[in-house]
Amino acid sequence: MTSAPSAAQTGNGGPATEEFPDHIAIIMDGNGRWANGRGLPRAVGHERGVEALRRTVEAAQEIGLKTLTVYSFSTENWRRPVSEVNALFGLLKAYVKRDLNRLAQEGVKIRILGTRQGLPDDILELVKRAEDRTADNDAFNLCIAFNYGGREEVLRAAKAMASAVEEGRTSASEVDEAAFSEFLDTGGLPDPDILIRTSGEYRLSNFLIWQAAYAELVFMDVLWPDFGKHHLLEAVETYRKRERRFGGLSSGAA
């Protein structure tokens, strides 16, 4: 069960935004703790986490969201035991194999964020199949950050931009924030309006560190396997109570 956001968490104090978010990003945290709290193997927690992902994708479509980005496997997760890494890979394969056709038919476009370096061949094939199968869809964007790290993404983007300058495809004088953003894994998508982290932790954990510069942060005490539609709606309601200033003054300031 989520706790009511505190004043510090909600950022209240100015007129609320009337906008509905286009893009929500989620750090899906708490699978292991969910399992440990029930005396179950961590792998069971990850399995329940996939079920929560299915619920959340469905809920995001139902409420009219355009883009959902989820943090599935970070570049730092390679430090975990081999058995757990393999289990996480297996769950990605199971999710794509079970849900890809349905998602494609629903107009969902899948984009896998992160580096391909170091991924096994079967995962690479799966990633390509998911992206190719849904490439022409435009009803809903599902971005899965897999083998992803925010700093690594920015570094790759900087190298790609430098290559573009060297090859004459652009010039250094033409590079601004908008141009640089196109070199990121999320190029062409809006930045997230809301970034949710479950499990009660208060960190970004190297997730969307460029894109989330002005995202509204919502931290929830619920463990990811228990996350559902009402939590998503709660985050949207929290967002709509906040005033987004993007570095400017409050609209009520003298």
Q: Could you say which of 29, 99, 191, 193 is catalytic? A: 29
- Residue whose tokens read 């960190």: 203
Enter the tokens of residue 228.
Answer: 């559902």
Query: Is 77 among the catalytic positions?
Result: yes
What single string gives the DSSP state of each residue in the chain? -PPPPPHHHHT-SSPPP-PPPSEEEEE---HHHHHHTTT--HHHHHHHHHHHHHHHHHHHHHTT-SEEEEEEEEGGGGGS-HHHHHHHHHHHHHHHHHHHHHHHHTTEEEEEES--TT--HHHHHHHHHHHHHTTT--SEEEEEEEEE-HHHHHHHHHHHHHHHHHTTSS-GGG--HHHHHTTSTTTTSPPPSEEEE-TT----TTSSTTGGGGPEEEE--S-GGG--HHHHHHHHHHHHTSPP-TTS--TT--
Catalytic residue among 12, 77, 137, 206: 77
Sheet holding 23-27, edge to edge: 108-113, 140-148, 67-74, 23-27, 194-197, 216-219
Distance CA 42, CA 32 (A): 5
CB 147 within 8 A of CB 114: yes
Does the annotation mark 191 as catalytic? no
Q: Please identify every residue annotated as catalytic.
A: 29, 77
